[in-house]
């Protein structure tokens, strides 16, 4: 589950839905499920995750490769955005409650969202 601390409410939708749907149609169900499962595995037991730090810089030979080649047709910016939306989907459907925000490392803004586990708000 995703919870917005800023709005004080649970989130139930994927943002940028038109982009998500466009990219999603160009990736097989099997590839999408493999990416989804890998992301669930990577966040399992974690308290905090930053989206842009999860996949690494070289997706060759990983489950993330179809995002770049199939869904986003070798567009690095679109690939990063679609990856972020898939990760959002994973957190959205997670059984534990997660929130998110944009933060800095020192004075440098971190690319991507940082997600963190929270106790279930009332």
Question: Residue 47: what pLDDT?
Answer: 96
Is residue 16 within 8 A of residue 23, CB to CB? The reply is: no
Give the closest residue to 64 by CA, choosing from 44, 36, 100.
36
Question: Residue 121: what pLDDT?
Answer: 77
Question: Residue 62: what pLDDT?
Answer: 96
Question: Residue 122: what pLDDT?
Answer: 66
Domain regions of the chain by residue span: 2-117
Question: Residue 56: what pLDDT?
Answer: 87
- Mean pLDDT, each 10-residue run in order, the chain (122 residues): 94 97 98 98 95 92 97 96 98 96 92 93 72
Question: Residue 120: what pLDDT?
Answer: 80
């Amino acid at each position: 589950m995703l919870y917005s601390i800023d709005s004080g409410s649970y989130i139930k939708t994927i943002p940028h839905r038109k982009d998500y749907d466009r990219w999603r149609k160009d990736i097989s169900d099997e590839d999408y499920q493999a990416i989804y499962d890998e992301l669930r595995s990577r966040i399992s037991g974690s308290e905090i995750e930053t989206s842009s730090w999860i996949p690494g810089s070289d997706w060759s030979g990983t489950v993330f490769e179809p995002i770049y080649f199939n869904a986003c047709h070798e567009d690095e910016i679109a690939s990063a955005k679609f990856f972020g939306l898939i990760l959002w989907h994973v957190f959205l459907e997670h059984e534990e409650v997660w929130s998110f925000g944009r933060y800095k490392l020192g004075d440098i803004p971190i690319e991507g969202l940082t997600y963190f586990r929270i106790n279930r708000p009332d």
